[in-house]
Amino acid sequence: MAHMASTAPSPVSPEPTATVHAGADGGSASRPRMLSGMQPTADSLHLGNYLGALANWVHLQDTFEAYYFIADQHAITVRHDPALLRRRTRATAAQFLAAGIDPNKSVVFVQSHVPEHSQLSWALQCLTGYGEAGRMTQFKDKAAREGTEKASVGLFTYPVLQAADILLYDAAKVPVGEDQRQHLELTRNLAQRFNKRFGPGLVVPEPHILKATGKILDLQQPDKQMSKSRGGAGCLFLLDDPKISLKKIRSAVTDTGREVIHDPERKPGVSNLLTILSTLSGTGLEDLQATFVGAGYGDLKKETARAFTDFVEPFQTSVHELLCDTGTLDDVLAEGAAAARKQAAARLEVVYELLGFLPGRP
């Protein structure tokens, strides 16, 4: 595959490279590449993960040649329980599929099944400044919590592994939340640095920061993002007994006044419920507001609860079916890994050659 280095067009415009590969694979040459990943750190995704990320991924798989993976290697950068990791990796995969990620349209795989991630990560680590890595705010936050003696070197190089995840697949677009912006910036810098030093080998990706629906807020603290780390009362877990979630919706913090209007400044709690209902039902905020003229907060909660149930019941059925038959699920992931490896190995080969590594005998 040595010829690929010379066929890789200018790395500053990602589309052409993506097209070259898709064409070479006999795939759809017209769709640009995109990639995103999620760590398997919980048994159940929460509504913020779903509406903020996964639901977007499902839409994007029609316009992009999409790679979606479970970042299990990132999940061991902090202390973890092996049995839990194994269970959560499958559970996360099952939730991807149940949400509508279609393995016939997208490549769905587990990071550790594709050893090229670690291999490219090493090369990129050697291009990353020690100080540069030390400026990553997520690392600084986590290290401050754990203490630098306890924080692992893996936690330190976490963003470089993330850069490898992205750059192996020539991803033109990477949909992530605002908290990942700095990691994306590092990825772009590393790709540009590599290309400048060794020649065009890596596509420089564009971040695709998910905004509006990325802001699903905690039902109890509607000034903060929904997150499992804030306990549970304001967080809707997709795999919880729906009764628990409905109770949480009923107890959601609302605001003074009684009108159901979307005004995140003055009415953060009500606006959050409206955003949730709007996204779950596919009804625009304006239209939705019109249906609540003369109605109260209780009606808003009732409708939100109904929309949540309508979504979550079939979702749970599908997750449980997938998890009852782990053989089939593992087959889907194995097929995804095989497809991912094809691309990843080709990209790594170009990188190794440009770095000056002696080709091994086949």
3-state secondary structure of 329: helix
Taking the least distance from each CB to ligand TRP, the nearer of 213 and 309 is 213
CB of 181 to ligand TRP, least distance (A): 11
Taking the least distance from each CB to ligand TRP, the nearer of 121 and 316 is 121
User: Rg of the chain over CA atoms, in angstroms?
Assistant: 22
CB of 276 to ligand TRP, least distance (A): 21
Q: How many CB atoms lie within 10 A of CB 360?
A: 6
- Contacts of residue 163, Cβ cutoff 8 Å, sequence gap at least 6: 121, 124, 183, 186, 187, 190, 191
CB of 358 to ligand TRP, least distance (A): 30
Structure tokens at 156: 């330190």
- Chain residue at closest Cβ approach to ligand TRP: 37
CB of 197 to ligand TRP, least distance (A): 23
Binding site for ligand TRP (CB under 6 A): 35-39, 71, 74, 162, 165-166, 174, 176, 180
Taking the least distance from each CB to ligand TRP, the nearer of 37 and 214 is 37
Taking the least distance from each CB to ligand TRP, the nearer of 180 and 343 is 180
Residues 167 and 124: beta-carbon distance below 8 Å: yes
Residues 135 and 160: beta-carbon distance below 8 Å: no
Ramachandran angles phi, psi of 273, nearest 5° = -65, -40
Beta bridge partners of 173: 34, 206
CA dihedral 326, 329, 330, 331 (to 10 degrees): 130
Taking the least distance from each CB to ligand TRP, the nearer of 42 and 260 is 42
Taking the least distance from each CB to ligand TRP, the nearer of 38 and 238 is 38
Residues in the chain: 362
Residues 159 and 165: beta-carbon distance below 8 Å: no
Nearest to 125 by CA among 133, 115, 134: 133
What are the start-end ranges of the E strands in the chain?
A: 33-38, 65-70, 107-110, 173-176, 206-209
CB of 107 to ligand TRP, least distance (A): 13
Taking the least distance from each CB to ligand TRP, the nearer of 39 and 157 is 39
